[in-house]
Amino acid sequence: MMTLPQSLAEALAEVSAEIDAQFDVLLAIPEDPRADLYRAMRHAAIGGGKRLRPLLVFATASLFGVDRACVARVATAIEAIHVYSLIHDDLPAMDDDDMRRGKPTVHKMFSEACAILAGDCLHALAFEILADPSTHPDPFVRADLVLDLAKASGPTGMAGGQMMDLEAENARFDLNTVTRLQQMKTGALILASVEAGAILGRIAPEGRVGLRGYAHDLGLAFQIADDLLDAEGDEAAAGKRLRKDAGAGKETFLSLLGADRAREQARMLVDQAIAHLHSYGREADLLREIARFVLDRDR
């Protein structure tokens, strides 16, 4: 395991504990026939994952002094979307994965039907959290957060990217198409996390240009690092099956650029992401550290 910079390590630990605590309350197991549904959601949502998206919400919102309780709820909603997408992605009809975050996947531990419903429930729960008056007193902020997340996760964002990823097994995508696929599949939710922090900070769209640039480049660097991890990483450290892209015959940044150019490209994107933060001072150091970390992670 790599040693994280002290402040980033602390921030990650704090955010992870906060997200776990939120899910623990939201997903209290009811004493009725839905108990397994809640156990399945808890299995997927609590005690695992990098919590990169919640960390981005926290790091961005901290630029604007947003109330911590609001941020925690919004970060949890975005993580709920991420977790639902992992549950559905792992299903036999999709990637057919048995392990995730070092544990059996939801359909392995429970059942396929339960996994489909657990994903659907986390999906709905994300929007319930965002629209709830206890998340933010201003309905404009709540509606804006919902719109942001719905676009980022639907057919023009994450789920659309996943469809393109399915098609990638049957087609020979070029670098432009792979870039677009990845911007949708993983980039959109990373961008939405940063945007959510800015929405909570009541920054108008015109004032988000630097942050959007940061998130855009970070998302691509993250995905290239993921491709490299898939090809070169250690399955035990990653806690999931690797070498999937080559097996499926999909074009990736790695297959199109080669490992050296891909690594160089990711480094350049990280530098570019950090450059987008030039108008911020020390208060954006956590965002800068996140960008550097994305390259060096082992899971």
Between 62 and 193, CB nearer to a copy of itself: 193
Whole-number CA gyration radius for the chain: 18
Question: Going by C-beta distance under 8 Å and a sequence separation of 6 or more, which residues neighbour residue 243?
Answer: 230, 231
CB closer to a copy of itself out of 62 and 76:
76
Spatial CA neighbour of 172 closest among 228, 231, 248: 248
Other Cβ atoms closer than 10 A to 295: 16
Instruction: Compare residues 103 and 151 and give the one whose CB is closer to a copy of itself.
Output: 151
* Residue at 13: amino acid letter: A
Query: 168 or 238: whose CB is closer to a copy of itself?
Result: 168
Q: Residue 52 contacts by C-beta under 8 Å, 6 or more apart in sequence?
A: 190, 222, 290, 294
**Spatial separation of the C-alpha atoms in residues 231 and 245, rounded to whole Å:** 8
**At closest approach, how far in Å is the CB of 251 from a copy of itself?**
12
Distance of closest approach, residue 47 Cβ to a copy of itself, in angstroms: 19
Question: What is the nearest approach in angstroms of a copy of itself to the Cβ of residue 69?
Answer: 18
Helix, strand, coil fractions of the chain, as percent rounded to 5: 70, 0, 25
Residue 296 beta carbon to a copy of itself: minimum distance, rounded to whole angstroms: 32
Interacting residues toward a copy of itself by CB under 8 A: 32-34, 36-38, 41, 84-85, 88, 91, 93-94, 107, 111-114, 116-117, 119-121, 123-125, 127-128, 130-133, 138-140, 142-144, 146-147, 149-151, 153-155, 157, 159-160, 162-164, 166-168, 171, 173, 177, 180-181
**Chain CA centroid to CA 234, Å:** 21
CB of 267 to a copy of itself, least distance (A): 29
The nearer residue to a copy of itself, 14 or 112, going by C-beta atoms, is: 112
